[in-house]
Structure 1
Amino acid sequence: MTQISAPLDPQILNPARRSPKKKKFGISDRVLAIGTPVLLLLIWEAFVHIGAIDARFFPAPSSIFMRMGELIASGELWMHMWASIQRLFYGFWLGLVPAIILGVLMGLSRPIRSALSPLVSGTYPIPKSALLPLILLIFGLGEMSKIVMVAIGVFYPVVLNTMSGVVQVAPIYYDVSKNYGASKWKVFKTVAIPGAMPSIMTGIELGAGLGLILIAIAEMMGAEEGLGFMIWNAWQLFSVETMYVGIFIIAVMGYVMALFLAEVAKWVMPWKR
């Protein structure tokens, strides 16, 4: 007796036919990502015009963007942005490199983890902004104090996530590498780092966001340029629109950093695509 099989779904035979559906979802995601902030700004604008909120404390977005245009035209905004970006860049690498090295060593070595884990876990809950007076006392009011603040903010999330990621790598991978005579550097490069990379990237994203917060706080004290200084100076002069411009630019920088790190994650973790 011949068996008659059910006809196969054309979508299974030709997966490319499903691509328009995926593309549709991608477009809707972009529309939501752009449309939601725009809708909130329009509602804010409408509430200001009907008098539902106090324009002295919540100026209309149109006036905020007009003020932004003035700051861009005068070059003042670019000056403050560039100062903050430079400090953020140097502080990011100053905190990132030792955090990854120390996190991997703590994950691979039980004695190192037992010795250093209490110190890291014990000092992590200390509010980083509370350390600013001490950092200013040690490093002065110059650039180094701002860079160190960013480095501290980046260090803790990265070292803790890196250690956790290395510890969670299945022991069989370490056993196989040892059986094949891999050196410690090979184990470090080909087993520990790739296995912990998802946790490392999570720590980097958290650290970059915290670094951006701390650079704004650090620039409010003892700085003459930077987005934090611009916000603080605007508060002293009660230039509310300028305050909102600084806050908006910091939010945009945070979003751009998140997009950039997402692309970096795709590059360093091709198996996750």
Structure 2
Amino acid sequence: MLIWLKSIVKGLYQILSVLIFLLLWEIAPRIGLVDTIFLPPFSKVVLAFWNLIITGELFTHIGVSLVRSLLGFGLGLSVAIPMGLLIGWFKGFESFIDPLVQTFRQTSTLALFPVFILLFGIGEVSKVAVIFWGVQWAVLLNTISGVKNVEPLLVKSAKSLGISSFSLFTKVILPASLPSILTGVRLSATHSILVLIAAEMLGANAGLGYLLFFAEANFLIPKMYAAIITMSMLGLIVNYALVMFEKRVLSWKEELPTGT
């Protein structure tokens, strides 16, 4: 019973800051601290959110955004992870390709969106392409870092056993770099949603970004905030789902004792 009570108290404490923020959001417009035209009380936003749910409009936009995001994200991983493994493993290739990688990763993803529109049109392909481009860099750089920072003692020990280069890579390098790769995947997953939202605001007829832009353009302020909250919730769900996946995949990794 005591353990159960402690768990409840701990859970409430962890969300206390969020509850305080929402309470302030509800009170501030009602007592005149902010203009209700631009920041309506949180209860009105909840009502708008509920209306989006019961009409099914919200799920339509979420579905469209998720399909676009998953396509671009999946394509991005299929390129970034193998490329990161190659760059991290072959030092000569890293020296050759690194200037190009550093140049591309400093280029704003959204700045390239007009280029993708010119190349692929304003339809679905350009939106998937901008996500594909945007998710590359966190995964790529974390993969490179993971391969390069494998414990040298592990590599030396494996080589002393006469292991082949292929086996060294698949049985030592790849498993040891997996935590860094998964961190990059988690960062890129959230980023893919953010990039997509911006792309949908620039040219789309469905999706969360379109919903946000439509609500703002038509001065449907509670609906606009409901769209923003939906995006935040979606990002949190994706992040925590990937954290749980990461823990499950890396369950073999033992915690090092304190002080070692």
- Would you say 1:219 and 2:200 are equivalent positions? yes
RMSD of aligned residue pairs (Cα, Å)? 1.9
CA displacement at 1:121 relative to structure 2: 1.2
Which residue of 232, 236, 250 corresponds with 1:269?
Answer: 250
Alpha-carbon separation, structure 2, partners of 1:175 and 1:22: 48
TM-score normalised by structure 1 residue count: 0.87
Contact residue 266 and residue 272 of structure 1 kept, 8 A: no
- Would you say 1:87 and 2:68 are equivalent positions? yes
Alpha-carbon separation, structure 2, partners of 1:176 and 1:142: 53
2:13 corresponds to: 32
Which residue of 49, 52, 57 corresponds with 1:76?
Answer: 57
Which residue of 144, 167, 176 corresponds with 2:148?
Answer: 167
Q: Percent identity?
A: 34
| Structure showing greater Rg | 1
CA displacement at 1:168 relative to structure 2: 0.7
3-state DSSP class of the match of 2:122? coil
1:194 corresponds to: 175
CA displacement at 1:244 relative to structure 2: 0.6
- Match of 1:137, as an amino acid? L
Larger mean Cα displacement after TM superposition, 175-184 or 84-93: 175-184
Alpha-carbon separation, structure 2, partners of 1:235 and 1:114: 47
Larger mean Cα displacement after TM superposition, 58-67 or 168-177: 168-177
3-state DSSP class of the match of 1:220? helix
1:120-174: CA deviations, max 9, x gaps? 1111111111011001111111111111211222110010011011101123322
CA displacement at 1:216 relative to structure 2: 0.2
TM-score normalised by structure 2 residue count: 0.91
CA displacement at 1:27 relative to structure 2: 4.4
CA displacement at 1:212 relative to structure 2: 1.1
1:139 corresponds to: 120
CA displacement at 1:235 relative to structure 2: 1.3
2:161 corresponds to: 180
Which 5+ residue runs of structure 2 have no aligned equivalent? Answer: 256-260
CA displacement at 1:22 relative to structure 2: 11
Contact residue 169 and residue 192 of structure 1 kept, 8 A: yes
Describe how 1:227-266 pairs up with structure 2 within 5 A: 227-266=208-247
- Match of 2:59, as an amino acid? W
Which residue of 9, 12, 33 corresponds with 1:52?
Answer: 33
CA displacement at 1:21 relative to structure 2: 7.5
Larger mean Cα displacement after TM superposition, 171-180 or 247-256: 171-180
Alpha-carbon separation, structure 1, partners of 2:4 and 2:59: 39
Give the paired residue count.
Answer: 253
Which 5+ residue runs of structure 1 have no aligned equivalent? Answer: 1-19
CA displacement at 1:272 relative to structure 2: 4.9
Question: Runs of at least 4 residues of structure 1 off by over 6 A?
Answer: 20-23
3-state DSSP class of the match of 2:107? coil
- Would you say 1:207 and 2:188 are equivalent positions? yes
- Would you say 1:99 and 2:65 are equivalent positions? no
